[in-house]
Structure 1
Amino acid sequence: MIVDHLKVYFKAGRGGRGGSAISHISHHKERGDGGDGGEGGNVYLKVDAHYYDLKKFKSKNRFEAPDGEAGRAANRKGRDAEDLEVGIPPGTRVLTLNGKILADLTGTDESFLICRGGRGGKGNYKRDYTKPAGRGEEKEVFLDYRIPNDIAILGFPNTGKTSLFNALTGHDFKVAAYPFTTLSCITSKFTYNFRDYIVLDTPPLKRKGISCDSHNRFLRHIARSKILLFLSRADSDFESDFEAIKKGITGFSPGLLKNKKVFYLVNKIDKMDKIPVKRGIFFISVQASLELKELKIEIERCLTASCG
């Protein structure tokens, strides 16, 4: 199961204490020569493509950068603390506890300064007193992971979603004639005309309580999709299926369909005696490879035209 939403605490390092030291110039004269403290460590969130969800934050959800080193005698500055980098998967949003988006990190090697380290304290080398060090920032935030993808496949059980996914990506993921073969979201590349796109295969929608968060929580991962493939089968009431999928998505999150192109697909037409003509609906057979080339052409045309 994908771990995609967690509360995590981050704290930057405190600045090092300013040094307090006395240097005797002569028998009757002295001066301060305590050095400044080092800077506290910053905390960065850094995109790391080796992570595929937020699972690592279940076992550790507190991260603290080290403090700066204290200033020393002879006006020696304390060492700055090392920054702390925390790896996150591409597609992670950083939210305040009130839901405000602080960052949306999708690019390779992209990073975000979430907590700034405190400034080092001032030593007494220029004055007869020290100045206190700054405290490091601290934040408790939600990390919210949305799988990066261009194309998402949606449908009820036994419509052939995973078979379509395999046909588009060239993979051979598990396919069976019983419901709920796909238990979690899967992604892979769809390559066409030397361009790569990411396809997302989702678990089957549950007809009962389709807009219920606990049943179909994976719908949050179509937020980044440009194209949605609604898939039904030839021996069902496919137009009712399409309407049910659409209602389920808008019930789950009203704005989730905004700026997305929807392709309506009816699979298993090799089982039909006569193929109906319905405007706006693609009639395909994944198993018999019917009309798949035409579908790929339309998908690629839409993506290159930035359709929505």
Structure 2
Amino acid sequence: MTEGNFVDYVKIYVSSGKGGKGSSHLHREKFIEKGGPDGGDGGRGGHVIIKGNKSLWTLFHLKFARHIKAGHGGDGGSSRSTGHDGEDKIIEVPLGTVVRDKETEEILFEITQHGEERILVKGGKGGLGNWHFRSSTNQTPRYAQPGMPPEEMDVILELKVLADVGLVGFPNAGKSTLLSVLTSAKPKIADYPFTTLKPNLGIVAYREFKSFVMADIPGIIEGAAEGKGLGHYFLRHIERNSTLLFLIPADADDIQKEYEILLDELRRYNPEMLDKDRLIVVSKCDMLDDELKSELKKELDVAFKGTPYLFISSVAQQGLTELKDKLWEMLNVDTEEPENSHGI
């Protein structure tokens, strides 16, 4: 998928179908002059339904679909025949899509499961035919209910990328390079800040045909939590990652300071982000000899206060196996503990 085809925010107008009118028909037949009411009910208007599709990774297919309307219900007929139901309109979205009311900005629901369906606006109920209104005192009602009007709404669809691991770091930290080495993803890579303007997803192949998903998020700058730079545009994408991988280059002026700035931006955006598992990775370590690496380890042991960290080099293919092992261990610690507790 090219970067221009990644769309994670769209505004659309949706309208359900109106209900069909009930019929006020009176039965007439040869030799039966006053057969009584036999008007059928109107059909239900079509719903607009949001459906999760795991094969989709973007909202690009909705970029130009500004108005989405369901079909109207058919009118009731004679002989108590019910009108047809309006055609439902199904909008397929990638997993991780948040649906928000544009006017109130209230979150209506989120789609996180494949095949999950939620009705966004309900179709109008069909009107009852005059057959329902017959009584001992009114045996030939000549009226029926009209169909209920449609519901309409302006909504915002916002995609929050669903990935197991989110790459967090300053621009030009080497996130895209790491993603390209670990996965089959082909992000744009160049030696200048903000090469990545849209999230890139890649599947990391692990041992015994296992895998996990890693997302390269556009780089953080100071003030991002207030919307500076790319701001909230990328921060929402790491809200759903279960593990955050902080990537800091070995040639940074102050590795500890960069890490603290990244943490502070996440804290100001959403304090709950700090509850996620964290792994610090010092990249471009092929620039360090053994002596420098040893001295740096002593400093980082104090600076990171127990937070795990690794040294890697994407270009020189150093430490990548250890990195995948560590990430797999962090992602699966919750599922492995119950098994061990039962002696399995």
Q: Same fold (TM over 0.5)?
A: yes
Higher helix share: 2
Q: Distance in 1 between matches of 2:55 and 2:121?
A: 23
Alpha-carbon deviations, 1:200-253, whole Å to 9, x = none? 01222234x3334251321110011011111111121111111111112223x1
Relative to structure 1, the CA distance from residue 41 to residue 28 in structure 2 (aligned partners, 3 Å threshold; closer, same or farther) is closer
The answer to whether the aligner puts 1:230 opposite 2:246 as a matched pair is yes
Relative to structure 1, the CA distance from residue 41 to residue 27 in structure 2 (aligned partners, 3 Å threshold; closer, same or farther) is closer
Find the counterpart in structure 1 of residue 130 from structure 2: 124
Q: Distance in 1 between matches of 2:287 and 2:82?
A: 79
Bigger CA drift: 267-276 or 51-60?
A: 51-60
The answer to whether the aligner puts 1:105 opposite 2:92 as a matched pair is no
Find the counterpart in structure 2 of residue 175 from structure 1: 189
2:322 to 294, 300, 307: 294
1:196 alignment partner AA = S
The answer to whether the aligner puts 1:19 opposite 2:35 as a matched pair is no
1:203 alignment partner AA = P
Question: C-alpha displacement at 1:113, in angstroms?
Answer: 1.1
The answer to whether the aligner puts 1:32 opposite 2:37 as a matched pair is yes
Question: C-alpha displacement at 1:256, in angstroms?
Answer: 4.9
1:269 to 285, 288, 299: 285
Find the counterpart in structure 1 of residue 304 from structure 2: none
Retained in 2: the 8 A contact 1:6–1:144? yes
Alpha-carbon RMSD across the aligned residues, in angstroms, is 2.3
Relative to structure 1, the CA distance from residue 132 to residue 157 in structure 2 (aligned partners, 3 Å threshold; closer, same or farther) is closer
Find the counterpart in structure 2 of residue 62 from structure 1: 67
Q: Distance in 2 between matches of 1:102 and 1:87?
A: 16
Higher strand share: 1
Structure 2 segments unaligned to the other structure (5+ residues): 135-140, 302-307, 336-344
Structure 1 segments unaligned to the other structure (5+ residues): none
1:155-234 alignment runs, 5 A limit: 155-193=169-207, 194-207=209-222, 209-216=223-230, 217-234=233-250
Q: Distance in 2 between matches of 1:281 and 1:161?
A: 16
Find the counterpart in structure 2 of residue 305 from structure 1: 333
3-state secondary structure, aligned to 2:13: strand
The answer to whether the aligner puts 1:153 opposite 2:187 as a matched pair is no
Q: Distance in 1 between matches of 2:228 and 2:61?
A: 22
Retained in 2: the 8 A contact 1:226–1:259? no
Bigger CA drift: 99-108 or 264-273?
A: 99-108
Question: C-alpha displacement at 1:179, in angstroms?
Answer: 2.9
Relative to structure 1, the CA distance from residue 42 to residue 29 in structure 2 (aligned partners, 3 Å threshold; closer, same or farther) is same
The answer to whether the aligner puts 1:47 opposite 2:19 as a matched pair is no
Relative to structure 1, the CA distance from residue 204 to residue 69 in structure 2 (aligned partners, 3 Å threshold; closer, same or farther) is same
Question: C-alpha displacement at 1:72, in angstroms?
Answer: 1.4
State TM-score, norm by structure 2: 0.81
Retained in 1: the 8 A contact 2:46–2:89? yes
Question: C-alpha displacement at 1:56, in angstroms?
Answer: 3.9
Q: Runs in 1 of length 4+ with deviation above 4 angstroms?
A: 25-28
Relative to structure 1, the CA distance from residue 266 to residue 41 in structure 2 (aligned partners, 3 Å threshold; closer, same or farther) is same
